């Protein structure tokens, strides 16, 4: 057979066997500079043809730029030397531009000691492992691994995403062998309960996905999960409690979702499982579209907040609400965070503050408002040197950062005396055991900063804290003020709080005074400060300054 015929024969074999493999086979004709590769490489790497002439130059478009010269050298060497083996790891570039590591191996056919044809194969090194040697199940990495008949048919059943609770803890505390045992046992229990048209996949470390494509409603799914859970418990007993663990599940049925694309089903099952996990271990939850939409909205808001913060706090603003004496003299102001979306619409603090706290973004945002408030306070101090700015600090900031140091540094940076600053913390942070919280509190107090216990009287007030923390000020919430004007018991309670504050020589700020009646009630309690719409709504610095000039 002449060289041309031999090359064409290999091309035909590649075309014929291409659909039987995940790898890309190739053959090179060194004499005529032709390269032929499996057609599946076209989609993966954005090649325009799988039969390539002048191949060393043409392949430059798909080989990762910094690896190209090495391939050029290799090909020149193979053409001119008698080495018959090619074995290299380098990168190609995928259709969407990302580098793909491949292992490329080839063997040359020689004539008169010279390489004339090379036959070989390209393997993607990072390709997903689709089977799992612990459970023997298929892995579900992408839709390609769904059995064809499933991905093509109509979804009329349910999905259950099962999670082995705290697998990481088991691996860490008892050992990975026991973690593997928990996984393989769970897999056995699932398999023993499935009907012939129900499938299970091992998705990742601790998760399984059961797919009932054609039948079953929520009750069937729940009953199936409960049977599996009972099996798991029985197995744990049977094996003498070698490893004790529980499983949780998120359930999605075909009536829960309008969109049955592979992606949205995966996301829905993920969401249902994470809702179950948030309830604790050993439980199950059904997918709830309203909650899901809410979480997507929060996620969107979190992304917007994050990019605003990166973008020098664009969209963030500080408003100030004045604190007055009962005689209506301005003593200070509380700094309150405001946020506008890029399209200009305002977001309520009740919506964005919890998102900042959940995402940890309250740490940079809290530092920003602290510094802004301190530097703004200096501007007001020009008119009134005793003016006091009050800044809210979240539980999260105290827990995750060294707030005492942050506040001290901020004061030093701008040169504001500590007496001009008040810090507001809510009592919900003070679990008796939380020493760090109490330490931060006392350290801040020792710097001469005024410490206010915010939202006092809402939730579970623990009067012991008053003695332990000795706040400079307690702030009672608007809900307390409103309730006291309507309900005698609440009124008496508020009076007791006031007299307790007086006895402990601790200041009191009554918040949320809106009406004449509320003002009368507040004044009778002889508080140190009153704060509320009656005296002023939160306003930008410019209008606060106008009050003095
Ligand atoms: P808060 O610390 O209790 O702040 C007082 C809230 O009551 C403010 O709401 C204020 O506008 C509102 N308010 C004051 N007087 C009246 C009144 O007479 N009537 C009514 N209806 N409301 C009044 P805002 O600004 O919406 O803030 C809500 C919450 O968001 C704050 O409650 C605080 O917990 C949080 N927040 C605001 N800014 C920050 C901040 O910079 N850091 C942290 N960690 N939390 C903040
Ligand atoms: Ca406050
Ligand atoms: Ca408050």
- Could you report the per-residue pLDDT of 187-240, keeping only the tens digit for each? 999 999 999 888 888 887 899 999 998 899 999 999 999 999 999 999 999 999
d(CA 473, CA 482): 20
**DSSP secondary structure string, 297-323?**
HHHHHHHHHHHHHHTTTTTEEEEEEEE
Pocket test for ligand 1, best of 336, 360, 458, 518 (most atoms within 8 A of CB): 336
Cβ atoms < 10 Å from Cβ of 464: 10
Is the pLDDT confidence value at 457 over 80? Answer: no
Chain-centroid distance of CA 176 in Å reads 26
Closest-CA residue, ligand 1 atom 13, reads 512
Is the pLDDT confidence value at 520 over 80? Answer: yes
Quick one: 328 exposed, middle or buried, by C-beta within 10 A (0-12, 13-18, 19+)?
Answer: exposed
Quick one: 341 exposed, middle or buried, by C-beta within 10 A (0-12, 13-18, 19+)?
Answer: middle
d(CA 155, CA 187): 23
How far apart, in Å, are the Cα atoms of 112 and each of 27, 74, 116, 125, 416?
Answer: 20, 20, 10, 35, 88
d(CA 485, CA 154): 61
Mean pLDDT of 362-370: 98
Query: What's the whole-number average pLDDT of the chain?
Result: 91
Angle of CA points 351, 353, 358, to nearest 5°: 100
Return the pLDDT at 503. 93
Closest-CA residue, ligand 1 atom 43, reads 392
Closest-CA residue, ligand 1 atom 10, reads 538
Return the pLDDT at 153. 55
Two tokens, residue 547:
């009050």
Mean pLDDT of 4-24: 91
Cβ atoms < 10 Å from Cβ of 419: 13
Mean pLDDT of 51-80: 93
The confidence band for 466, taking pLDDT boundaries of 50, 70 and 90, is confident
How far apart, in Å, are the Cα atoms of 10 and each of 2, 29, 83?
Answer: 13, 10, 21
The confidence band for 149, taking pLDDT boundaries of 50, 70 and 90, is very low
Q: β-strands 198-204, 158-164: how paired?
A: unpaired
67-78: pLDDT as tens digits: 999 999 999 999
Two tokens, residue 486:
């309507």
321-343: pLDDT as tens digits: 999 999 999 999 999 999 999 99
Return the pLDDT at 454. 93
Question: What residues have their beta carbon closer than 5 A to ion ligand 3?
Answer: 454, 475, 511
The 3-state DSSP class for residue 232 equals helix
Q: How far is the CA of 479 from the centre of ligand 2 (A)?
A: 13
Q: Which ligand 1 atom sits closest to the C-alpha of 533?
A: 18
Return the pLDDT at 145. 46
Return the pLDDT at 435. 84
478 lines ligand 1 (CB under 6 A): yes
How far apart, in Å, are the Cα atoms of 206 and each of 77, 104, 182, 262, 282?
Answer: 48, 33, 9, 20, 14
Closest-CA residue, ligand 1 atom 7, reads 512
Cβ atoms < 10 Å from Cβ of 276: 23
Q: How far is the CA of 512 from the centre of ligand 1 (A)?
A: 9
512 lines ligand 1 (CB under 6 A): yes
d(CA 82, CA 209): 53
Return the pLDDT at 259. 74
Whether 549 and 383 have beta carbons less than 8 Å apart is answered as yes
d(CA 43, CA 22): 13
Whether 35 and 45 have beta carbons less than 8 Å apart is answered as no
d(CA 314, CA 157): 47
Q: Which ligand 1 atom sits closest to the C-alpha of 319?
A: 25
d(CA 469, CA 443): 11
Return the pLDDT at 142. 43
Mean pLDDT of 31-51: 92
**pLDDT: which is higher, 546 or 437:** 546
The confidence band for 420, taking pLDDT boundaries of 50, 70 and 90, is very high
Q: What is the percent of the chain with per-residue pLDDT over 90, rounded to a whole number? A: 77
The confidence band for 126, taking pLDDT boundaries of 50, 70 and 90, is confident
Pocket test for ligand 1, best of 353, 394, 457 (most atoms within 8 A of CB): 353
Closest-CA residue, ligand 1 atom 19, reads 512
Pocket test for ligand 1, best of 317, 339, 361, 392 (most atoms within 8 A of CB): 392
Whether 109 and 6 have beta carbons less than 8 Å apart is answered as yes
Q: How far is the CA of 450 from the centre of ligand 3 (A)?
A: 15
Mean pLDDT of 139-168: 71
251-301: pLDDT as tens digits: 999 999 877 777 788 899 999 999 999 999 999 999 999 999 999 999 999
Q: Can you give the pTM of this predicted structure?
A: 0.72
Chain-centroid distance of CA 240 in Å reads 38
337 lines ligand 1 (CB under 6 A): yes
298-313: pLDDT as tens digits: 999 999 999 999 999 9
Long-range contacts of 533-541 (CB under 8 A, 24+ apart): 535/322, 535/324, 535/328, 536/321, 536/322, 537/321, 538/319, 538/320, 538/321, 538/334, 538/336, 538/338, 539/319, 539/320, 539/321, 540/317, 540/318, 540/319, 540/320, 541/318, 541/320, 541/376, 541/379
d(CA 117, CA 124): 23
Is the pLDDT confidence value at 40 over 60? Answer: yes
Is the pLDDT confidence value at 155 over 90? Answer: no
């Amino acid at each position: 057979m002449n060289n041309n015929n031999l090359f064409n024969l290999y091309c035909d074999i590649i075309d014929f066997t291409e659909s039987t493999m995940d790898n890309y086979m190739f053959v090179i004709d060194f004499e005529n500079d032709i390269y032929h590769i499996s057609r599946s490489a076209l989609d993966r790497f954005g090649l325009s043809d799988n039969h390539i002439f002048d191949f060393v130059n043409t392949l430059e478009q798909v080989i990762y730029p910094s690896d190209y010269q090495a391939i050029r050298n290799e090909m020149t060497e193979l053409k001119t030397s008698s080495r018959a083996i090619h074995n290299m790891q380098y990168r190609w570039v995928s259709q969407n531009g990302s580098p793909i590591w491949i292992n490329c191996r080839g063997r040359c056919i020689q004539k008169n000691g010279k390489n004339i044809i090379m036959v070989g194969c390209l393997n993607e090194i990072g390709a997903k492992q689709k089977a799992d040697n612990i459970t023997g199940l298929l892995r579900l990495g992408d839709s390609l691994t769904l059995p064809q008949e499933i991905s093509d048919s109509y979804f009329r059943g349910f999905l259950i995403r099962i999670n082995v609770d705290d697998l990481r803890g088991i691996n860490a505390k008892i050992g990975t062998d026991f973690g593997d045992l928990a996984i393989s046992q769970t897999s056995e229990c699932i398999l023993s309960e499935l009907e012939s048209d129900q499938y299970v996949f091992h998705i990742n470390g601790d998760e399984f996905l059961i797919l009932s494509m054609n039948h079953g409603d929520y009750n069937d799914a729940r009953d199936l999960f409960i049977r599996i859970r009972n099996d798991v418990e029985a197995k744990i007993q049977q094996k003498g409690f070698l490893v004790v663990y529980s499983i949780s599940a998120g359930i999605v049925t075909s009536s829960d979702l309008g969109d049955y694309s592979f992606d949205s089903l995966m996301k829905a099952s993920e969401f249902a499982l994470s809702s179950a996990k948030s309830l604790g271990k050993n439980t199950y939850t059904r997918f709830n579209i309203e909650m899901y939409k809410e979480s997507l909205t929060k996620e969107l808001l979190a992304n917007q907040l994050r990019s605003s913060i990166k973008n020098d706090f664009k969209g963030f603003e500080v408003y100030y609400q004045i604190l007055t004496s009962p005689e209506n003299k301005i003593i200070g102001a509380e700094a309150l965070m405001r946020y506008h979306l890029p399209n200009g619409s305002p977001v309520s603090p009740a919506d964005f503050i919890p998102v900042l706290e959940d995402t940890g973004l309250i740490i940079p945002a809290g530092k920003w408002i602290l510094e802004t408030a301190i530097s703004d306070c200096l501007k007001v101090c020009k008119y009134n040197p005793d003016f006091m700015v009050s800044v809210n600090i979240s539980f999260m900031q105290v827990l995750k950062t060294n707030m005492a140091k942050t506040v001290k540094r901020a004061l030093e940076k701008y040169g504001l005396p500590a007496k001009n600053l008040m810090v507001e913390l809510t009592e919900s942070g003070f679990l008796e055991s939380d020493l760090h919280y109490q330490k931060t509190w006392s350290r801040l107090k020792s710097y001469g900063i005024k410490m206010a216990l915010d939202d006092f009287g809402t939730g579970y007030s623990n009067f012991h804290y008053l003695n332990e923390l000795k706040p400079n000020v307690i702030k009672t919430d608007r809900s307390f003020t409103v309730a006291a004007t309507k309900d005698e018991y609440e009124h008496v309670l508020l009076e007791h709080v006031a007299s307790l504050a007086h006895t402990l020589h601790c200041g009191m700020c009554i918040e949320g005074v809106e009406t004449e009646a509320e003002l009368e009630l507040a004044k009778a309690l002889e508080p140190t400060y009153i704060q509320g719409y009656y005296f002023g709504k939160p306003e930008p610095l410019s209008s606060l300054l106008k009050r003095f000039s």
